[in-house]
Amino acid sequence: MANDAIVAIATAPGRGAIGVVRVSGPHLAPFLLALVNKVVIARHATRADFRNADGGLIDQGLVLYFPAPHSYTGEDVIELQGHGGPVVMQLLVARCVELGARLAEPGEFTKRAFLNDKLDLAQAESVADLIDATTAEAARCALRSLQGDFSRQIDAMVSDLVGLRILVEATLDFPEEELDVLDNSNTQGKLAAVREQLARVIETSRRGSLLRDGIHVVLAGQPNVGKSSLMNRLAGSARAIVTDIPGTTRDAIRETIAIQGIPLHLIDTAGLREPQDEVETIGISRTWEAISEADLVLWVSDMTRPETHDIDPTLAGRLSLGVRYLHVLNKCDLMPPSSGGGQADHVSKVHISALTGVGIEQLRNSVLDIMGWSGGSETTFMARARHMQALKSAQNHLDAALLCVGRLELFAEELTLAQRALSSITGEFTADDLLGEIFSRFCIGK
């Protein structure tokens, strides 16, 4: 019963040498041709170049084509096997979206398989659970994506767009009310303002997206717990000066590393304590700046000094909702063997030794886990990708609106569609809600 094509990354992101992007939908043959520009024999592995719209090479890999009904979902299915890095996978997904597929809803491939009688009843039992679980996960991811500035900017934009729609719809539905609202207000200027805002949100959220910029990880803790040693261990080089003297690190030191292809920006910071001099004061204030921009804070403590374990109360207070933190207990090599390294406690605590390297692999995995880059198919990144897709759809409609400023009902149509796209991010906005806004703004009623 589905009549549109869906796409998603089928393999766990960030892991493995091979990654698979899967597309399902009716009549995918033209889609496939546009994607790989060669004839693909059904159910044969075919080597292909995956190119973007400009012809630039995204990746080389294998393509598999399963025509309906002999496929996982019972529809036409295409599998693109590329190199496993998340950047390549995301670019492939983006290309498929460009060609008309939409990002799959949580559990949607399985749902389609089920609806097309591809699963037996026992398997089907789990479909509802899957939808339930992935929806909950997707909701959590969407919430994370919506934290901070991104959400504020979208809210501001939606409210301006609603403001413009009120004027347009009131003019259409209440022509006899002496409103003349459109004559007295600068429609084009208002549209231009919303378009500018939208372009800005798209630009900043692109810049802020994990894919492009990686995860900002701040190493924080009391002085001399081994933050700089950990930094050097993770970076694999003596990037930061390490001494036994507390307060050696005065300024935030930055280093970019990659864990399984995902860029990580490490920021080593001055230890948090009462500053001893002016240089340290500035260093500590930069620590706070770094923390305020962080996606993840590693709170490093010295296992031999329990007084360093408790997270700084100021820091705990400053961690905004979206920022997660991980407690890294360093110097486990100095502890009795029973408290050995690498132990993880629900990924919120990792025991390591920056000196010997024990537990560092576990730490790397914990960082990815906690940032939503492993496990199921729903990640913060996917949530953000959905939001970006909605923003771009809104942008297309606002561009179209610009072309029909003089033709009011077409103008209204494009604004409505733009708002519908944004509402998929911010929540439903019904015709009744709009009328409510109109009635509260204007005195309607002869």
Partner 1 sequence: MQFSESFDVIVVGGGHAGTEAALASARSGRRTLLLTHNVETLGQMSCNPSIGGIGKGHLVREVDALGGAMAAATDEAGIQFRILNSSKGPAVRATRAQADRLLYKHAIRTRLENRRNLLIFQQSVADLTLDGERVAGVVTELGLRFSARAVVLTTGTFLSGLIHVGLKNYQAGRAGDPPSISLALRLRELKLPVGRLKTGTPPRLDGRSIDFSKLTEQPGDTPVPVFSFMGSAAQHPAQMPCWITHTSAHTHDIIRAGLDRSPMFTGVIEGIGPRYCPSIEDKISRFADKTSHQIFLEPEGLTVNEYYPNGISTSLPFDVQCNLVHSITGLENVHITRPGYAIEYDYFDPRGLKSSLETKAIQGLFFAGQINGTTGYEEAAAQGLLAGINAARLAAGEDAWCPRRSEAYLGVLVDDLITRGVSEPYRMFTSRAEYRLSLREDNADLRLTEIGRTLGIVDDARWCRFETKRAAVSRECERLRTSWVNPRIVARHECERVVGQALEREYTLQDLLRRPAVTYETLMTLPGAGPAVGDAQVAEQVEIQAKYQGYIERQQVEINRQEAYEMTRFPAGLDYREVHGLSIEVQQKLNKHRPETLGQAARISGITPAAISLLLVHLKRGFSDAKKIA
Q: How far apart are CA 195 and CA 261, in angstroms?
A: 34
Q: How many other CB atoms are there within 10 angstroms of residue 378's CB atom?
A: 24
Name the residue type at position 436. Answer: G
Decide the pairing of beta strands 102-103 and 76-83: unpaired
Nearer to partner 1, 41 or 121 (CB): 121
Nearer to partner 1, 213 or 437 (CB): 437
* Nearest distance from C-beta of residue 390 to partner 1, angstroms: 14
Residue 129 within binding range of partner 1, rule CB under 8 A: yes
**Termini Cα distance of the chain:** 47
Q: Where are the alpha helices (DSSP H) in 99-148?
A: 108-115, 121-145
Q: Which of 34, 70, 132, 292 binds partner 1 (CB under 8 A)?
A: 132
Residue 207 within binding range of partner 1, rule CB under 8 A: no
Q: Which residues contact 424 (CB under 8 A, 6 or more apart)?
A: 386, 390
Q: List the interface residues with partner 1, window 216-275 (CB under 8 A).
A: none
Residue 49 within binding range of partner 1, rule CB under 8 A: no
Identify whether the C-beta of residue 415 lies closer than 8 Å to the C-beta of residue 168: yes
Residue 439 within binding range of partner 1, rule CB under 8 A: yes
Strand pairing partners for 6?
Answer: 24, 102
Q: How many other CB atoms are there within 10 angstroms of residue 186's CB atom?
A: 11
Measure CA 184 to chain center.
Answer: 41
Q: Which of 29, 45, 115, 143 binds partner 1 (CB under 8 A)?
A: 115
Q: Which stretch binds partner 1 (CB under 8 A): 200-208, 262-270, 293-301, 406-414?
A: 406-414
Identify whether the C-beta of residue 203 lies closer than 8 Å to the C-beta of residue 225: no
* Nearest distance from C-beta of residue 405 to partner 1, angstroms: 11
Nearer to partner 1, 48 or 138 (CB): 138
Identify whether the C-beta of residue 269 lies closer than 8 Å to the C-beta of residue 219: yes
Residue 187 within binding range of partner 1, rule CB under 8 A: no
Residue 127 within binding range of partner 1, rule CB under 8 A: yes
Three-state DSSP class for residue 257:
strand
Q: Which of 98, 149, 178, 251 binds partner 1 (CB under 8 A)?
A: 178
Length of the chain equals: 446
Residue 399 within binding range of partner 1, rule CB under 8 A: no
* Nearest distance from C-beta of residue 351 to partner 1, angstroms: 39
Q: Which of 29, 124, 235, 252 binds partner 1 (CB under 8 A)?
A: 124
Q: How far apart are CA 173 and CA 181, in angstroms?
A: 12
CA-to-CA separations, 338 to 342, 343, 426, in angstroms, rounded:
12, 11, 50
Q: Which of 68, 174, 193, 396 binds partner 1 (CB under 8 A)?
A: 174
Continuous segment of H or E residues that includes residue 380:
helix 380-402
Residue 413 within binding range of partner 1, rule CB under 8 A: yes
Q: Which residues contact 371 (CB under 8 A, 6 or more apart)?
A: 210, 215, 295, 296, 324, 380
Q: Which stretch binds partner 1 (CB under 8 A): 31-39, 130-138, 233-241, 249-257?
A: 130-138
Residue recorded with tokens 């208002």: 190
* Nearest distance from C-beta of residue 409 to partner 1, angstroms: 3
Residue among 159, 160, 10 at smallest CA distance from 77: 10
Residue 402 within binding range of partner 1, rule CB under 8 A: no
Identify whether the C-beta of residue 83 lies closer than 8 Å to the C-beta of residue 61: yes
For the window 264-283, what string marks contact with partner 1 as x by the rule CB under 8 A?
--------------------
Q: Which stretch binds partner 1 (CB under 8 A): 16-24, 244-252, 360-368, 409-417?
A: 409-417
Q: Which of 49, 105, 289, 369 binds partner 1 (CB under 8 A)?
A: 105
Count of residues interacting with partner 1 (CB under 8 A): 49
Q: Which stretch binds partner 1 (CB under 8 A): 61-69, 114-122, 330-338, 363-371?
A: 114-122
- The footprint of partner 1 (CB under 8 A) covers 1-4, 105-108, 111, 114-115, 117, 121, 124, 127-129, 131-132, 135, 169, 171-178, 406-410, 412-413, 416, 428, 430-432, 434-436, 439, 443-446
